[in-house]
Amino acid sequence: MAHLTNPLATPSQLYALTTLNSPLPIDLQHSIRFYTARLTQAAGLLLRLPQDITAQANVLLYRYWLVDPLLAWEFSDVSAATLYLTAKISASPRTLRSITNVYTYLLSLPTFPSPTTPAPTAPPDPESYYLSETAYTTYRNRLLNIEGQILNALSFTTHVSLPHPLAITYLQTLSIFSLPPAVSTRVAKRTIAHLNTALLSPQMLYLTHQPPALATAAIYLAAREEGVKLPDGEWWTVFDVEREELGFLCVGMRSLEGFVEEERRRWEGRGVLTREGVRGEMGKLGLNNEVGNGVEEDEESQMARLLDEKVGAVST
Amino acid sequence: METPTHPPSPPGDFVAFAREHTRPQNRFVGCSRITDYEILGKLGEGTFGEVHRAKSKKTGAIVALKKILMHNEKDGFPITALREIKLLKLLSHPNVLKLEEMAVEHHSKPSAKKRAIMYMVTPYMDHDLSGLLENPGITLTEPQIKCYMLQLLEGLRYLHDNHILHRDMKAANLLISNKGILQIADFGLARHYDEPVPVAGCGGGQARRDYTSLVVTRWYRPPELLLHLRKYTTAIDMWGVGCVFGEMLTGKPILAGDSDANQLKIIFELVGTPTDENMPGWRNLPGAEGLKFPPHPPTIAQRFREAGSGAISLLNELLKLDWKKRVNAIDALKHPYFRNAPLPARAGDLPVMEDSHELDRRKFRGQKAAPPPAPKGGTVGMGVGNWGGEPTANGHAGFGNGDNYAYRQQNGGRYPPHGGHRNGVPPPPPPPIDDRRRAWERHRDDRPDTRLPPRPPPADYPPYDGSRDRPDGYRSRSRDLDRDRAPPRSRAGAPSVDTYIPSYGPDGGRRDDRPPRDDRPPRDDRPLRDDRPPRDDRLSRERDDRPRRRDDRDERRHENRDRDRLDYDERSRHSRTRSRSRSPIRDRERERVREREPLERPYDRDRDVYRR
């Protein structure tokens, strides 16, 4: 059923990501995906959007970045545009004004909110996130332009099938809810938490696996972590998941913790990740950061540039 | 990672089977380019834009390209289009028009202001049912009718089973290929419904929540909607099927009301006046207040006696006043009508019919509009425009203004005007006077037969009065914004007749070519029913139906045109004004307007619509 499946990334698309985003190093790509997805998540909360809308927005975000380069647009703009688009076709749309307000607020924060950073003592100065009418118009037009880009890149495939409802069904099928409520609730919550966390995965698990597999893996992990025994035998095959896929997903989901830890060490205490910040980081790494202004460098000029650099390096 | 490539699965592996048979959508490749298609010619102007026939350079398939112009939308890509595209992408059934893909046409000089133009790519279909029935050279045989009915019911069963209400069932939205395949098109008004799907023997079930009652083209609108039932079910689509069925049997729309009140009246004349037995609860419907109809026995059997008892029996099931007992698609498919001789034809056995396509039909009808392949109505959007053809032809100089219009549905600019804007209400530019009258007349004749009111305008109907204000307010507001120079509109104006005529202006020549349609029964009787003063009014009203759908842009366009051409006479001016002010907005428009509270915020509108 088309409702239950998602379009997936093809291996060649995943492979092409390196060249698509060149010369952005892979770890920075990961950071961009992770932090932008978190930004969407934060905006979704502030906009009081149901989590399924926010989750779908993040899936669309990753889908879009499979087709267009990460540096083509400001990250927060892409995030805002996907969120707007997703909400627009849902039952809980949000106005562009609300969206731009929320993003302006988030961008104004000196430190991106995170569970580990202490909450600021004083509320931020309202003037720091006031969006004037002209600024709003500019912002809006920018977002609408990106919306068009996203639709075009996705060929209007805006339907996203989420594993969350499936996971609940699966838990019921596995009779988890016949356990004591305290236990079953913990397992269910943990399952959903895994699914939501997987949205942030730089491995783009939602683009490489169908919802049944994601749901199954989340249940598997949650049950293990909560010490709940699941049926003997390969119960996951009932849900159309093969052992290898399950194993891969479990590793993928578990690895997120270490990844986040590393990201935090690298970016802790900074505001929203922007192209500016990424370019700065690239500068530190000694990478050319001329590219990425939304203008793609074609192969020829890239070659010429590399050649110039080589020559320059030799002659000095 | 194991996923992308699945190892060959053992026989009997359902997973593999399912994977192989799911609709291929496992990629996001971006839209294809318009250059991937070789344009073969324009099919006509659909309700919201032009439709072209084209050949895919990749596959060689003949497709229809329906343009969705990206205009300067305040809310970005039109939500109705998005919603329809999303729905269509999820559907896959032989009797539901498939959206192959989206194609994009970039402007040669990309600039921030101009957005790319999007096309919906659907398979090319040779006819639409409405056009087919209008073609005097084609008579449907009983096996043929049965064949189409079965396909229609199959498609509808699929939609209903997938929690989708079509909400714009009508002959013009049923496309037919020369292979005898019927497909349901135009999902511009469709939405998911929340209730359980229909099950055999239980009709449409029971609705639990409110939906907007401002849906479905008037001629195909069921009585419960005319009485403003908000908790409606899939049964509303089944009524439409009944109307289409009757239309196939008789060759013309069977319930061509010219106002909502009149629609109810002729419905009751056909199926009998409602009583507590045949339509329990009807008295409690909001629209039933103060309604009085002299008791009238049903006349279905009489009116369709030539069709035979089987057909009458099915028609009675489909056109049942009691929406709770109205047959659902599952049960209708089992009706003995389809099992009695003459048996339904097989789709492949149907004769290849004269290529009665848009252009051909124009011969008959003058202004046809929507090309068959493309669903006219709501495909993308909101209102159905006029059916098409309204000829706003291309190339008319006046139309150039299109670009400036900010109209939700987009269609802006590059392409001149097409007639059918679904959104709005369009006042047409005045054409030369001589043509005008004739056009009308002709129009009148033709129109009624088929596609008249794409989506019926609300305004005429007293019950709607309350709501009318809003739409008017809304419209006028936008009008004001859009065109400062618009002449004042007054309700008291003359009939709107002329108003629309203008739009034909450009087309005049074409229409004139049409042979007079003597073959068709004069439809004058219908207009007469109308309580309004005779006069051109009638005509205009009919006309209004279509044009109303156009949007502000059209309106403005016309406006501009008017400005440019001073040759219209007093009368036309009059009528123009009048029509505008009083002209009801088409359903979609109406729906939108109604649903959104704050008129200023189109956004809310959409949201509301979506929610209902």
Of A249-258, B241-250, B286-295, B358-367, the least confident = B358-367
Max CA pair span of chain B: 80
> Pick from B94, B323, B117: which is nearest to B213 by CA?
B323
DSSP labels, B135-156:
-TT----HHHHHHHHHHHHHHH
Whether omega for the bond prior to residue B342 falls within 30 degrees of 0, making it cis, is: yes
| Residue B2 to residue A196: CA distance in whole angstroms | 22
Q: Number of Cβ pairs closer than 8 Å across A and B? A: 124
Torsion of CA B378, B384, B386, B390, to 10 degrees: -40
pLDDT at residue A305 greater than cutoff 80: no
Residue that is written with structure tokens 């229609």 in the block: B152
> Does residue B168 have an active-site annotation?
yes
Q: Find residues 91-120 of chain B whose CB sits inside 8 Å of chain A.
A: 91-92, 101-102, 104, 112, 115-116, 118
Percent with pLDDT over 70 in chain B: 49
Q: Which two tokens stand for residue B278?
A: 């045949």
pLDDT of residue B439: 37
Of A118-122, B68-72, B273-277, B450-454, the least confident = B450-454
Rg of chain A (C-alpha set): 21
Contacts of B71 in chain A (CB under 8 A): none
**Burial (Cβ within 10 Å: 0-12, 13-18, ≥19) of residue B359:** middle
| Residue A202 to residue A66: CA distance in whole angstroms | 12
> Pick from A58, A15, A16: which is nearest to A33 by CA?
A58
For residue A95, what is the nearest residue in chain B, using CA coordinates? B603
E strand or H helix at A196? helix A181-198
Residue A142 forms contact with B (CB below 8 Å): no
pLDDT level of residue A166 (50, 70, 90 thresholds): very high
B345-386 pLDDT per residue, tens = 887 777 776 655 544 444 444 433 333 333 333 333 333 333
A163-264 has which fold?
Cyclin A; domain 1 (1.10.472)
| Residue B585 to residue B468: CA distance in whole angstroms | 8
Of A139-148, B36-45, B135-144, the least confident = B36-45
pLDDT of residue A57: 95
How many other CB atoms are found less than 10 A from the CB of residue B192?
A: 13
pLDDT of residue A103: 93
pLDDT at residue B474 greater than cutoff 90: no
Q: What is the mean pLDDT of residues A25-36?
A: 89
Q: At how many degrees (to 10) do helices A163-173 and A211-225 cross? A: 50
**Residue B524 dihedral angles phi and psi, to the nearest 5°:** -60, -30
Q: Inspect the interface and report whether the beta carbons of A8 and B3 lie closer than 8 Å.
A: yes
E strand or H helix at A207? helix A205-208
Nearest to A67 among B28, B79, B115 (CB): B28
Q: Inspect the interface and report whether the beta carbons of A89 and B86 lie closer than 8 Å.
A: yes
pLDDT at residue A316 greater than cutoff 90: no
pLDDT at residue B13 greater than cutoff 90: no
> Pick from B134, B171, B208: which is nearest to B446 by CA?
B134
Residue B395 near residue B193, CB atoms below 8 Å: no
Residue that is written with structure tokens 């309580």 in the block: B531
SS (H, E, C) B449-480: HCCCCCCCCCCCCHHHHHHHHHHHHHHHHHHH
Phi-psi region of B568 (alpha: psi -120 to 50; beta: other; left: phi over 0): beta
**ipTM above 0.95?**
no
Q: At how many degrees (to 10) do helices B570-582 and B552-564 cross? A: 160
Residue B529 near residue B573, CB atoms below 8 Å: no
> Pick from B456, B487, B454: which is nearest to B560 by CA?
B487
Break chain A into its structural domains and give their ranges. 19-160+270-275, 163-264
Q: How far is A289 from chain B (nearest CA, A)?
A: 25
For residue A250, what is the nearest residue in chain B, using CA coordinates? B1
Q: Find residues 251-310 of chain A whose CB sits inside 8 Å of chain B.
A: none
Q: What is the mean pLDDT of residues B43-47?
A: 62
B96-129 pLDDT per residue, tens = 998 888 888 877 655 555 667 888 898 988 888 8
Q: Do domains A19-160+270-275 and A163-264 have the same CATH topology?
A: yes
Is 1.10.472.10 the CATH number for A19-160+270-275? Answer: yes
| Residue A255 to residue B13: CA distance in whole angstroms | 32
Check B126, B128, B168, B554 and give the catalytic one.
Answer: B168
pLDDT at residue B87 greater than cutoff 70: yes
Q: Which two tokens stand for residue A192?
A: 């959903």
Nearest to A2 among B70, B90, B610 (CB): B90
Q: Find residues 9-48 of chain A whose CB sits inside 8 Å of chain B.
A: 9-11, 13
Q: Which two tokens stand for residue A2?
A: 């088309």
Report H helices in B199-355.
223-226, 235-250, 260-271, 300-303, 309-318, 329-333
Whether omega for the bond prior to residue A23 falls within 30 degrees of 0, making it cis, is: yes
DSSP labels, B14-26:
HHHHHHHHS-S--
pLDDT of residue B450: 39
pLDDT of residue A49: 94
pLDDT at residue B147 greater than cutoff 60: yes
**Residue B184 dihedral angles phi and psi, to the nearest 5°:** -85, 130
Q: How far is B171 from chain A (nearest CA, A)?
A: 28
Listing from the earlier edge strand, what are the strands of the sheet with B50-56? Answer: B32-33, B101-105, B117-123, B62-69, B50-56, B37-45
Amino acid (one-letter) located at A44: G
Q: Inspect the interface and report whether the beta carbons of A88 and B76 lie closer than 8 Å.
A: yes
Residue B183 near residue B174, CB atoms below 8 Å: yes
Which of A156, A239, A243 to mutate against chain B (most B CBs within 10 Å)? A156
**Residue B182 dihedral angles phi and psi, to the nearest 5°:** -105, 135
Bridge partner list, B64: B53, B122
Report strand pairing: B164-165 vs B191-192: antiparallel
Q: Which two tokens stand for residue B440?
A: 């009308």
| Residue B410 to residue B413: CA distance in whole angstroms | 8
Percent with pLDDT over 70 in chain A: 93
pLDDT of residue B477: 40
Listing from the earlier edge strand, what are the strands of the sheet with B174-176? Answer: B127-128, B174-176, B182-184
Break chain B into its structural domains and give their ranges. 143-349, 386-611
Q: Which two tokens stand for residue B581?
A: 């002010």
pLDDT level of residue B454 (50, 70, 90 thresholds): very low
Cα–Cα distances (Å) from A95 to A159, A218, B160, B381, in that order, read 20, 34, 31, 20
Instruction: Specify the higher pLDDT residue, A298 or A207.
Output: A207
Report strand pairing: B127-128 vs B174-176: antiparallel
| Residue B444 to residue B453: CA distance in whole angstroms | 12
What SS3 class is residue B87? helix
Q: How far is B70 from chain A (nearest CA, A)?
A: 9
Residues in chain A: 316
Nearest to A152 among B30, B76, B92 (CB): B30
Residue B167 near residue B189, CB atoms below 8 Å: yes
B195-243 pLDDT per residue, tens = 888 988 888 888 888 888 888 888 999 999 999 988 899 999 999 999 9
Average pLDDT of chain A to the nearest whole number: 86
Task: Return the top range by mean pLDDT from A76-85, A237-246, B57-66, B110-119.
Answer: A76-85
| B109 annotated to bind ligand | no
Q: Inspect the interface and report whether the beta carbons of A152 and B116 lie closer than 8 Å.
A: yes
Residue B260 near residue B456, CB atoms below 8 Å: yes
Kindly report the CATH class assigned to B143-349.
mainly alpha
Percent with pLDDT over 90 in chain B: 16
**Residue A222 dihedral angles phi and psi, to the nearest 5°:** -60, -45
Amino acid (one-letter) located at B378: G
Average pLDDT of chain B to the nearest whole number: 64
B522-577 pLDDT per residue, tens = 444 443 444 444 344 444 444 444 434 444 444 444 444 444 443 434 344 443 33
The conformation of residue B98, written as its DSSP 8-state character, comes to -
| Residue A217 to residue A230: CA distance in whole angstroms | 12
